[in-house]
A and B are shown apart, each in its own frame.
Chain A
Amino acid sequence: MSLLLFWLFATIMLIGAVAVIAFRNPVSSALAMVTSFVGLAALFIGLSAFFVGVIQILVYSGAIMVLFLFIIMLLDLKDEKRRSDSLAPLAAGLVLVAVFFIQLVGVLSHKLPYQTAPPLDKAVFAAAADGYKEGKDKVPTKISKSLESGQLPDIHLIGRTLFTEYNLPLQILGVLLLVSTVGVVTLSRKSAAND
């Protein structure tokens, strides 16, 4: 990703994030967050993580934000009243954040390893393609074919890893989603019974 595009999307992401905490109206905050996540998804795609970029937009900007907007409208929240905040918590919060950020700059002022991204071009793909052929006869697979044609089969690689190395966590994740679905239904029903 060229430097110009990187800083463009990084700026969009950061301005969106600042807008989330600056706006008084929760709906504006939610929409600012969509902007921020679209910038972030563009950064993911710039890092050749196409699958992650796509699910960032589908899950975050799509599903999660709709859920937030739905709840905001369900609760019928008005603009926040301007409160006379006492200065102490505000100052404490800002100092906490400033200390964290200064620490970060301190760490990043040293040269870390892996500064430049290794190239991802046809030569690298061609060299990697051999490892994805199956069996002793080196039968070409979908992954090796698209690597040889000079494309990064990002989704195939992720799917392969997900269903081999990370199969157990994936199953556990399925159970987690089921449990959270049941939990949400129970939470909503209980509070209805208490009214």
Chain B
Amino acid sequence: MPEAADPASVTAREAQAFARVTLARHPDRPRALRLIELLFSDWTELHGDRLFADDRAVVGGPARLGNRWVMVIGQEKGTDARTRVIHNFGMPHPEGYRKAKRLMLLAQKFGLPLICLVDTPAAHAGVEAEERGQAWAIADSMLTMFGLKVPTISVIVSEGGSGGALALAVADSVLALENAIYTVAPPETCAAILYRDANQKARAALSLRPEVATARALGVVDELVPEPSPGAHAHPLVVAAALKGALVRHLCDLEAQPRDLLLEARWERYEDPAPGSIPPGSPSA
């Protein structure tokens, strides 16, 4: 047990931990559509899940990375009041995950590697989402992605929250921008579950260690893409260039492997997906 915690310093550490969450949610961070524009060429968006609707929280379609065609799927939060509503703040409904699944299978059919840009606080929580099987849609997206016979890369762009993020992140390589967060649930939800009080989000953030450096230490994320201070919101072009370099590098590595070895490596990875640990007393921030 550490020495009796000084309430003032605990509050300060909680505030510091939550500041990371706030930074990851900075409204000017590049969103999926912006990154797609910066990273790829010939992006052609495809719409709809062929079952119910077109969920604009998930965007996807083929694009070229350098001169290599890939399938891109991204979670888009929107950039202003109008587009945030259109994209539902990046919180997909089941049809978003079903669109993703459709595009994954399309990629597999024609041998396109898959690149997913993850940016969601969580899957949408609502009556309609439950009626249309949110749990089933997420479960199916994960199962499809895990079994995909093409190389897969996911990038935690800003906010990777809950199964809503993991549905697009069961990949061969998982990258993250340095100031992103990756959590089991948004700190507000964690606080509601642990303390029955969403206002204790800072306390939850301190204990949960949402920063992607934690994910890297646990072995969940393979590489952090550096962001010049103060962050990607101030330097979107620099960050996009660094991310593009990392994507090309990982894609080359994955494509060089025979498919059976690729799938075997994927199995081994997800047999124990988070083998690392964070030692006690290590600072969260």
Specify whether A and B are partners: no
Residues of B bordering A, CB below 8 Å? none
